Structure 1
Amino acid sequence: MPKISVIVPNFNHSSFLNKRIESILAQTYQDFELIILDDCSTDNSSLIIEKYKRHPKVNQIVYNKVNGGSPFKQWAKGILLAKGEYIWIAESDDFAENTFLEICLKMLEANNNLGFVYTDSNIITEQKKTGSFKIKKAEKYHSDKWDNAYQINGIEELKHSLIKTCTINNVSAVLFRKKAIENVIAKTYDYKYAGDWLCYMLICTKHSIAYIPDALNNYRSHSNNLTKKSDNNYLGMRERIKARNMCMHHISDTEASLKRTANILNWKEFRAIFGGFIRGRIKVSDFFNTLILCFS
């Protein structure tokens, strides 16, 4: 059995796909299987994928006949197929430094309580490196938290930052313990934008996590990123409310301050949605469904 299962969910990323796959195959740690999932791409992704069909590391290639509508359904499919003890969801438009698996695995294996390890990421625009998430987060949150490596109890991570927003910026920078993610992935099926954040938060309710400040992942910033599209999008805001609520259902009542913080943040999201409703940008049914969600 391979130690790690690497899942590449792809949709219309033919221009990035070759570099993504090659960066996986070039890893210094080689005990892994590669699972490639294509969600009914309309570009020439299949031509690139087929080049790797007989590669010894490629264990599964699955083509959807109909687009699934959510990246998290693809994650779940890959996890179901995975044979490894650890899971790397390597998004098809990103690429990794060749020591990513080696360094992350070493930390996970040293502490059985860790649900996942994540690293910093370089941000790539038009083939140029424009900074890193560590730098952006230091500026945005006025914090040096991400300057140094850390291990932390998951509830404490939620309190410090993760309940406020998704401070784990890119799933390609995460190595999961399989038993941690497979226990929560089914809860993301009806999410389009915030399913990754929900996964991280739910894992944090049961596990500790760790962070590595080295930029071992390279995140491509382009117009088709779902993260970008969700920032000021009604559905993105609604999913964030829903994700916080679901997380709070898995938190002990003794964590009253954390639950209070989540409620305050949800009402701030709701006020933004209310503004969209007043301006006629959000349908009446969507508005009242979100209002109900705030009380659930």
Structure 2
Amino acid sequence: MKENWQSPLVSVVIPSYNHKRFLQKCFDSVAAQTYRNIEVVIVDDCSADGSTSEIERLIQNVSWKSRFPQKTQFQTFTKNQGAHAALNYGITKANGDIIALLNSDDMYHPDRIKYIVDAMQNKKSEFVFSGVEYVDESDRNVTNSHPVAQRYFCTQKLISQYPSLGFACLICNVSISTGNFAFTKALFNRVGEFSNYRYCHDWDFLLRSILHTEPLFLEQDLYYYRFHGKNTFETLESIAEEESTKIMTSILSKMQVEHLQNPVAPSPLNWPSYFELFLYWFNLTRYLKAPAY
């Protein structure tokens, strides 16, 4: 770590796109963090709803400037480039040793970054994500009432049944959202940028990361994911299967033949017999170019 390891600089990277009405609460949740050493990098992907003006207003506020003196960067794209491009640009510009992502329609729990830094220090982890609370447009908890929220909730509850978190990640994106990602800048440099997938760029990055390090799951609900009728998953589901096939074919190919840096990552070398059985149980063999060995 370049910074004092007791208090490393955390770069909160916020990709923004047409979420003007949620920006105030999103930004407030960053300003309310109990962890102090934070910079904020905001990238607006050519929003058409007045988001850029709202962002300018928020970051020029006296209280914001007091909380983040000299520690706010704001970039606007003149052409829409996609979430992956906004993320990559923001991470590249970030100065922190730890990157914490936050989608512009979502929010952080006040202690989120504190718990993440503590976990990285104590567990020597390079990638952390947490439990999620699901809210609606008015911040009301819909975890038990929204059908998709219920599915996501159950997905995370099943994580512990697998021998390593990597196996849970192969089933689906158990982190739920890019906004729930926190990782070291060093890991990002090894894994590489977010790929140009419109729907599954988060899952792809998570899977590529587990080849290098074992993620850590914090069970506390430290991320607030908002359902508001225009979430990406609802507008892009039609291309999910095509992207998933490409991602799984690529990642399983690497797991079969490469010596992985993560010693507990799913692979036939790390998990003899179990790896092949796992692929069979969950019908993942259809993504193999050649039989697993």
When normalised by structure 1's length, the TM-score is 0.77
Distance of aligned partners of 1:158 and 1:134 in 2 relative to their CA distance in 1, 3 Å threshold: farther
Post-superposition CA distance 1:99-122 (Å, at most 9, x none): 00001110011233x231111111
What is the CA distance between 1:258 and its match in structure 2? 3.7
* CA distance 1:41–1:134, change in 2 (3 Å): closer
2:89 to 77, 99, 102: 77
Residue number in structure 2 paired with 1:250: 254
Cα drift, residue 295 of structure 1 = 4.6
Cα displacement string for residues 60-89 of structure 1 (whole angstroms, at most 9, x for unaligned residues)? 110100000x20111110111011010011
Which residue does 1:125 correspond to in 2?
136
Amino acid at match of 2:133: N
The 8 Å contact of residues 26 and 106 in structure 2, kept in 1 or not, is answered as yes
Tell me how far 1:165 sits from its aligned partner: 1.2
Percent identity over the alignment?
21
**Alpha carbons 1:121, 1:219 under 8 Å: kept:** yes
Structure 1 CA distance for aligned equivalents of residues 103 and 179 of structure 2: 6
Partner of residue 76, structure 2: 63
Query: What is the aligned partner in structure 1 of residue 118 from structure 2?
Result: 106
- Contact preservation (8 Å) 1:5, 1:32: yes
Instruction: State the match for 2:160 in structure 1.
Output: 145
Q: Does 1:204 align with 2:215?
A: no
Change in CA separation of 1:265 and 1:144 when aligned onto 2, cut-off 3 Å: closer
The one-letter amino acid paired with 2:134 is I
Tell me: CA distance 1:245–1:57, structure 2 relative to 1, closer, same or farther (3 Å): farther
Instruction: Report SS of the residue matched to 1:109.
Output: helix
| 8 A contact 2:10–2:39 mirrored in 1 | yes
Name 1:224's counterpart in structure 2.
230
Structure 1 distance, partners of 2:173, 2:16, is: 22
1:120 and 1:142 map into 2 onto residues whose CA distance is 9
Partner of residue 279, structure 2: 261
Q: Distance in 2 between matches of 1:119 and 1:87?
A: 15
* 72 and 173 in structure 1: CA distance in 2 versus 1, 3 angstrom threshold: same
- SS of the residue corresponding to residue 131 of structure 2 reads strand
Q: Partner of 2:114: helix, strand, or coil? A: helix
Tell me the SS of whatever aligns to 2:186.
helix
Give unmatched runs, 5+ long, in structure 1.
147-151, 269-293
Query: Would the alpha carbon gap of residues 139 and 176 (structure 1) be closer, same or farther in structure 2, given more than 3 Å must change?
Result: closer
CA distance in structure 2 between the partners assigned to 1:184 and 1:20 by the alignment: 28
Distance 1:41 1:24 in 2: 21
Q: Does the residue aligned with 1:18 lie in a helix, a strand or coil?
A: helix
Change in CA separation of 1:142 and 1:50 when aligned onto 2, cut-off 3 Å = closer
Q: What is the RMSD computed on CA atoms of the aligned residues?
A: 2.9
| Alignment of 1:95 onto 2:101 | no
Is 1:158 the counterpart of 2:166? The answer is yes
Q: So what's the TM-score if we normalise by structure 2?
A: 0.78
- Write the distance in 1 (CA, Å) between the matches of 2:51 and 2:10: 24
| Equivalent in 85, 88, 98 of residue 86 of structure 1 | 98
2:216 counterpart letter in structure 1: A
Q: Distance in 1 between matches of 2:169 and 2:159?
A: 15
Cα offset, 1:12, TM superposition: 0.5
TM-superposed deviation, 1:228: 3.0
Q: How far 1:126 moved relative to its partner? A: 3.1
What letter matches 2:88 in structure 1? A
